[in-house]
Amino acid sequence: GTAVANALAGVIEGVRMVQGTMNGYGERCGNANLCTLIPNLQLKMGYDCLTENQLTKLSQTSRLISEIVNLAPDDHAPFVGRSAFAHKGGIHVSAVQKNPLTYEHIKPEQIGNERRIVISDQSGLSNVLSKAKTFGLELNKEDIACREILGRIKTLEHEGYQFEAAEASFELLMRQALGQRKTMFELKGFQVHCDMLKGDEIPYTNALATIKVTVNGEDKLEVAEGNGPVAALDLALRKALVNFYPEIAEFHLTDYKVRILDGGSGTSSKTRVLVESSNGKKRWTTVGVSPNI
């Protein structure tokens, strides 16, 4: 932040060339982040740095560079972060829908970002209706499904779920409440066998997963090996589904977060896992909670 502040102060005093890096990446700390610097110069101070069309690609470019350098995008980054224009409270969201400038310093579209309504147990009908519109679902505040969705959110969050960062899971929850969730496949069961094998220097794990699913009325049984139980299950499930849903071949894990919810239970503790996936064009996040990681 200091690098950006110094650069802006320098421009005010007459400096006409400012150096920085995209997302602040570099071999040293303290690089001026161009994704913060450029919007400030152009939208706040009136300097022409990019064309209007180029500026609308700033968020996309920021995320693309994060993918290239294999670093998770900073969701809390100014301007280009996914949470830069996120809104949570019910009254807050209602006001944003009536006049976004009451809570937003610029239009997110100007830098290629988008407004995001966050869902939690504090959410009101305004949040749910806004998300329904985002997902292309028809819903109004008189629908019984609205109350059912809010009740389901509160129940699940009491169990440890959080939907603030798991919008894909929330969309599935909404579609299920509205009777619009499709059953893509049914898991019949799985088994995982792990071996600890002796290596040249350190031991290594080999896992063998067997999985059985039903897809479109057809049973599929597949086996796969991986360097751990999760990798083996992932490969086995892909093998079972890819002929029915070829798009799965493009899906890949981009990030995941694990949190122990009740540490007092030791190894029996309930665990929440947040998984971020991508197909190279879009990112989506899902959440799961279980005492069995």
- For a pLDDT cut of 90, what percent of the chain falls above it? 51
Q: How confident is the model over 65-106, as pLDDT tens digits?
A: 987 887 878 989 999 998 899 887 666 777 887 888 888 999
Question: pTM for this one?
Answer: 0.63
Distances (CA, A) of 123 to 9, 86, 138, 146, 287: 40, 13, 19, 11, 18
**Taking the CA of residue 108 as centre, how many other CA atoms within 13 Å lie in the half-sphere pointing to its CB?**
19
**What pLDDT score does 120 carry?**
65
**What pLDDT score does 96 carry?**
82
Q: Highest-confidence range of 26-30, 70-74, 285-289, by mean pLDDT?
A: 285-289
How many other C-beta atoms can be found within 10 angstroms of the C-beta atom of residue 266? 8
pLDDT at 122 over 60: no
**What pLDDT score does 91 carry?**
66
How many other C-beta atoms can be found within 10 angstroms of the C-beta atom of residue 249? 11
CB burial readout 209-244, b (16+ within 10 A) else e: bbbbbebeeeebebebebeebbbbbbbbbbbbbeee
What domains are defined for the chain?
2-68 (no CATH), 86-177 (no CATH), 185-244 (3.30.160), 253-293 (no CATH)
Nearest to 4 by CA among 37, 51, 38, 53: 37
**Taking the CA of residue 116 as centre, how many other CA atoms within 13 Å lie in the half-sphere pointing to its CB?**
22
